[in-house]
Amino acid sequence: MDEGKGREVAYVQFPQNFQNLTKNELYSSFRIISEVEMHGSDGYEGPLYIGSGCFHRRDTLCGRNFIKGSKSDMKWVISRKREESGIHELEENSKSLASCTFEQDTEWGKEMGLKY
């Protein structure tokens, strides 16, 4: 994107959504996709990423404005937090996440998920 105004520009490709369709209309089969399968899947009441060859920046879509130079400051804070937490804690958390029992006895798939 534009180097000067890249933080302010985004390109989003989204499928057409037709309103007031009946079951006999040509595009009525797309109603399920837009109303059920993709509704709110990303947490911002929008669809999953769909389209052909498009790209966008989440900060542009959500309206965040970052000051020039703040990006390097954020990297420094993240790396410092990692040092403070220690490698042992990181390893233990990774083992828990990678195990087959990570979601055991949780509501994931019953009450939590993409379509609930």
Amino acid at 84: E
Per-residue pLDDT at 63: 61
Per-residue pLDDT at 87: 75
* Structure-model confidence comparison of residues 95 and 73, the more confident one: 95
Q: Is residue 89 within 8 Å of 37, Cβ to Cβ?
A: no
Cα–Cα distance for residue pair 116/111, rounded to 1 Å: 6
| Assigned token pair, 84 | 């403070």
Q: State the pLDDT confidence band at 35, using cuts at 50, 70 and 90.
A: low
Per-residue pLDDT at 49: 57
Give the domain ranges of the chain.
Answer: 1-65, 67-116
Tallying the residues shown for the chain, one arrives at 116
